[in-house]
């Protein structure tokens, strides 16, 4: 099922909590430290829910979830925006976090603090016209944010699967250049920047909407 409607008190609480965190740290509530990149992608038929198969421009951000300095482990994240995927100014964002998959549980994927050797996944599922799907990115060649900048162009392989089925290639993303800080500051990724045919599912995803809004409103615009 798609993400259910939240009680008003729950939406307000999530909004206030992440707004407060952003104000206290004078930065985004989550993933405060990161680098934004510009590049392009090739969407494959299995990833058609992300946008029409073919070539498309992308903007992406690599970040550390809590903002701890390297080499401390952190909930590293990658956000990818498929620009104008569903029409002019109708982008498709996917947000993934460092995670691992327990082999016995197939695609039951858990977020996990990492030294950048694990893969990334959506953790939660999306609803599509063909049923629920999860997304995954294999471990990146660059172990740190600084290494990512030095490793350009950096290739990101995005895969998609039913919760308990095999992975299929969804898109190959190539990050080619760093976005200048003033441009990066106005790019705000959100799991609800999406379309009706590719929707976050469940209560936790519903909470992400007001949580991201609260963080955006309270945080200064920094890359």
| Separation of alpha carbons 151 and 143, rounded Å | 10
In this structure, are residues 175 and 35 in contact, taking their beta carbons and an 8 Å threshold?
A: no
Q: Identify the structural domains of the chain with CATH numbers, from first to last.
A: 34-203 (2.40.180.10)
Per-residue pLDDT of the chain (223 residues; tens, 9 = 90+): 344 565 676 557 656 655 555 554 555 556 567 899 999 999 999 999 999 999 999 999 998 765 556 666 666 889 999 999 999 999 999 999 877 654 434 444 555 444 444 678 887 788 888 888 889 888 787 777 778 888 899 999 999 988 777 889 999 999 999 999 899 988 888 888 999 888 887 656 655 656 565 666 655 565 5
pLDDT in tens, 35-64: 999 999 999 999 999 999 999 999 999 987
Between 8-25 and 202-218, two packed helices, what is the crossing angle to 10 degrees?
40
How many other C-beta atoms lie within 10 A of the C-beta of residue 8?
A: 9
Supply the pTM of this predicted model.
0.78
In this structure, are residues 118 and 112 in contact, taking their beta carbons and an 8 Å threshold?
A: yes
């Amino acid at each position: 099922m798609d993400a259910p409607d939240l009680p008003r008190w729950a939406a307000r609480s999530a909004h206030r909590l992440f707004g407060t965190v952003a104000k206290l740290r004078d930065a985004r509530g989550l993933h405060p430290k990161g680098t934004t990149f510009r590049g392009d992608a090739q969407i494959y038929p299995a990833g058609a829910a992300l946008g029409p198969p073919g070539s498309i421009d992308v903007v992406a951000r690599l970040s550390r979830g809590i903002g701890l300095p390297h080499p401390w482990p952190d909930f590293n994240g990658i956000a990818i925006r498929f620009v104008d995927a569903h029409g002019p100014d109708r982008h498709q964002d996917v947000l993934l976090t460092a995670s691992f998959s327990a082999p016995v549980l197939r695609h039951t994927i858990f977020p996990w603090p990492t030294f950048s050797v694990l893969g990334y996944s959506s953790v939660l599922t999306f609803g599509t016209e063909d049923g629920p799907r999860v997304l995954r990115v294999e471990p990146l060649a660059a172990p740190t944010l600084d290494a990512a900048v030095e490793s350009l162009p950096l290739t990101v392989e995005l895969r998609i699967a039913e919760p308990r089925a095999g992975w299929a290639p969804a898109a190959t993303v190539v990050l080619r250049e760093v976005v200048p800080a003033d441009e990066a500051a106005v790019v705000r990724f959100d799991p609800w920047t999406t379309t009706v045919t590719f929707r976050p599912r469940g209560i936790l995803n519903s909470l992400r909407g007001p949580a991201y809004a609260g963080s955006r409103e309270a945080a200064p615009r920094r890359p």
